[in-house]
Structure 1
Amino acid sequence: MDFWGSGPEGREAGGFSFHLLNANAPEEEVQRHSHEEAHFVLVLAGGYMSSAVGAPLVSDTPVLIYNPPGTTHQDRFHGGKGRFVAISGGTGPEAAALCLRDPYAHRLAHGIARDIDAATPFSLEANALQLHAAISPLSSDEARSAQVPPSWLNRAVEMIFTSHDPDMSVAAVASDAGVHPVHLARVFRRFLGCSPGEYLRGHRLERAAAMLGEGVASLAAVAQSAGFVDQAHLTRAFRSRLDTTPAQWRRSRDVARIQDADAATRQ
């Protein structure tokens, strides 16, 4: 194991290792580092900053990252505070690091996090193998169990992450998915570990953080574009989730370079 975190000894099963960790280093001390093994990182708390394809500049929604063997990066937590599960091992595809939005993969990873101490080695190994199956082409429907999430959940997640409509609502997502909002909330909680409202609010904060990282629009314009009621609402969200203000975030960080530099390195 080679992670910037501390915690219990962890578990081993079927060639995989499983660790529940707390970030243990100030953000500025985390240097570029490499991992020999393929691994998944499920962020349970904190604002995670990753160079993986599809990752937000700083996370405020459930984030699951796949890093292939030999990954070199500078992924870290904003402010050096966070909690995560690391699942190492297996022979995953040697592709670019990837941020997974697949609800099925999230459910598997959350299950590992929840049962890491009590689960049998067989169960841990089976779930880790299914995680790898989620990032590999499926040869048949047998890779999915009877508890696979409904197809509309993928559409709902995609709608939230592709829409730039500041008036987006949970009711609108439920309507597009063709389900009742209460049912949407239950399924979101089951597979993604949060309510659709929490997911939507988190994505709005992620969008605002990205716009602020670009350093172009005014704070009021960022708030409006990202779907906040006003600038004060945006400030409250930043204080609550990232322990800083939008203005402080913009002044103190050149967050866009984190991903741009890593992308240039991979090319």
Structure 2
Amino acid sequence: MDFWGSGPEGRQAGGFSFHVLNANAPEEEVRRHSHDEAHFVLVLAGGYMSSAAGAPLVSDTPVLIYNPPGTTHQDRFHGGRGRFLAISGGTDSEAAALCMRDPYAYRLAHDIAHQIDAATPFRLEACALQLHGIVLPLSSDEAQAAKHPPGWLTRAVEMIFTSDDPDISVARVAVGVGVHPVHLARVFKRFLGCSPGEYLRGHRLERAAAMLGKGVASLADVAQSAGFADQPHLARTFRSRLDTTPAQWRKKSRYVARIQDPEAAMPQGPVKAL
């Protein structure tokens, strides 16, 4: 399977292929395309835009996307800049394309990305199979692992992604799942590679981007609703994370939002998979 990315030659193990690549195509060149094999995409850097269920309009939090065989999409990086791990292989077709928020799944993929050259073929294959086991849960305890994160971590992630409260804080999340904030921070860092504060800030940017894409609320209202201190704070975050301004993002939102519409008609032409 080809990808819209460049990098060193990937690894092969047990019918799976593994690549860590840098995005190398302007986002407007990525057409709608389909895949014969199942694959996972772990975003390592950049704002990823995916039509998978549960995916933000543009990512700024740890994102792991699963696409089953036959998926048709237009997933790509904002501005054509980003870095990602791609794991392809398998013919599972019982699951739909989705954005995986399971901390253990993210940790597995993250470990592969950072150990791709040193890991044994057995380790690579085992991790790929575990990821498929999470997407399509096994009926036995074989899907579980000794290093599985605590159940409260998944609840903490859900609290952040389902809350409409702009004043939600890390301390409040810790209270909500019944752990000390310091312990929350340690476990977040271990399984998600970032602090809970960084995760919360990333979600706020994703939420603001989605609101701007709807083109209804003012920039000041978006900033307040998404949890930013004020409109300048929102603007600084957009420039820092997405290399654009909220106003510029809104202007191109009609084009960006099309990736969330499975019925969007796109020009036909040669394509490669991302």
In the TM superposition, residue 143 of structure 1 has moved relative to its aligned partner by 1.6
2:198 alignment partner in structure 1: 198
User: Normalising to structure 2: TM-score of the pair?
Assistant: 0.94
In the TM superposition, residue 70 of structure 1 has moved relative to its aligned partner by 1.7
1:149 alignment partner in structure 2: 149
1:123 alignment partner in structure 2: 123
For residues 29-52 of structure 1, the C-alpha deviation after alignment (integer angstroms, 9 at most, x for no partner) is 111122111000000000000010
Q: Residue 162 of structure 1 aligns to which amino acid in structure 2?
A: T
1:207–1:28 distance in 2 versus 1, CA, 3 Å = same
Residue aligned with 2:232, SS: helix
Aligned equivalents of 1:244, 1:162: Cα separation in 2: 26
1:260 alignment partner in structure 2: 261
Aligned equivalents of 2:78, 2:91: Cα separation in 1: 30
CA contact (8 A) 1:5 1:25 kept: yes
Q: Residue 56 of structure 2 aligns to which amino acid in structure 1?
A: P
Q: Which runs of 4+ in 1 moved over 3 A?
A: 261-265
1:186 alignment partner in structure 2: 186
1:24 alignment partner in structure 2: 24
Q: Structure 1, unaligned stretches of length 5 or more?
A: none
User: Normalising to structure 1: TM-score of the pair?
Assistant: 0.96
Structure with bigger RCO (C-alpha 8 Å, 6+ apart): 2
Larger CA deviation: 181-190 vs 91-100: 91-100
Aligned equivalents of 1:90, 1:261: Cα separation in 2: 23
In the TM superposition, residue 142 of structure 1 has moved relative to its aligned partner by 2.9
1:96–1:126 distance in 2 versus 1, CA, 3 Å = same
Q: Percent identity?
A: 83
**Alpha carbon RMSD of aligned pairs, Å?**
1.4
For residues 188-214 of structure 1, the C-alpha deviation after alignment (integer angstroms, 9 at most, x for no partner) is 111111111111000000000000000
2:231 alignment partner in structure 1: 231
CA contact (8 A) 2:49 2:78 kept: yes
Q: Residue 186 of structure 1 aligns to which amino acid in structure 2?
A: R
In the TM superposition, residue 230 of structure 1 has moved relative to its aligned partner by 0.5
For residues 94-149 of structure 1, the C-alpha deviation after alignment (integer angstroms, 9 at most, x for no partner) is 43211000111101100110110100000000000000001012312232111110
Write out aligned runs for 1:1-267 (5 A): 1-254=1-254, 255-262=256-263
Aligned equivalents of 2:110, 2:141: Cα separation in 1: 22
2:269 alignment partner in structure 1: none
Count of residues paired in the alignment: 265
Aligned equivalents of 2:69, 2:128: Cα separation in 1: 15
Q: Residue 196 of structure 1 aligns to which amino acid in structure 2?
A: P
